[in-house]
Amino acid sequence: MAGRVSILLRGMGNAFDLQLTTAKSWLPHAEKNIANYEAKHPEMTYRYPQTQV
């Protein structure tokens, strides 16, 4: 069901010429959650080399 809704919404976005990307939409939430996790569990953090986004 989720897949069908995703396709439907993406199709509607394309019909209205909207450029929708899930990754860009979720990036701030992911960064905030990772920062919270790292603050609570400093022993589990590993710093990957920085890449250009």
Q: pLDDT tens for residues 8-48?
A: 888 888 899 887 777 888 899 999 998 998 889 887 777 66
Residue 53's pLDDT is: 64
Residue 26's pLDDT is: 87
pTM of the full structure: 0.49
19/31 Cα distance (integer angstroms): 22
Residue 33's pLDDT is: 93
Residue 49's pLDDT is: 67
Residue of 24, 8, 28 whose CA lies nearest to 36:
28
Query: Do the Cβ atoms of 38 and 45 come closer than 8 Å?
Result: yes
